[in-house]
Amino acid sequence: MKTLKTYPEVRGTQAGYVIRYACPFCKTENIIINRSPRDHFKIARTVSCRHCRTRVAVLTPGRDS
């Protein structure tokens, strides 16, 4: 069975359907745009930084997981 990787967690800030977060490694501000209501209610999502390409788990603000 395949093991899941754990990524560093970062809490983002939310304004409407946009979640902003800063990469913990290079401090670049990144943006996630939720395109559907299902994306809006996710607890966390794994994304990559647009500058250094490292993967992080972004926690949705206002959701305690």
The four Cα atoms 39, 41, 43, 47 give a dihedral, to 10 degrees, of 20
Range of the domain at 45: 9-59
Residue 65 in any domain: the answer is: no
Q: How many domains does the chain have?
A: 1
Residue 36 in any domain: the answer is: yes
Residue 50 in any domain: the answer is: yes
Residue 4 in any domain: the answer is: no
Model pTM above 0.85: no
Residue 3 in any domain: the answer is: no
Residue 1 in any domain: the answer is: no
- 8-62 pLDDT, tens digit per residue, is 999 988 888 889 999 999 999 999 988 887 877 888 889 999 999 999 999 887 7
- Give the closest residue to 27 by CA, choosing from 61, 64, 54, 57: 54
Residue 39 in any domain: the answer is: yes
Residue 38 in any domain: the answer is: yes
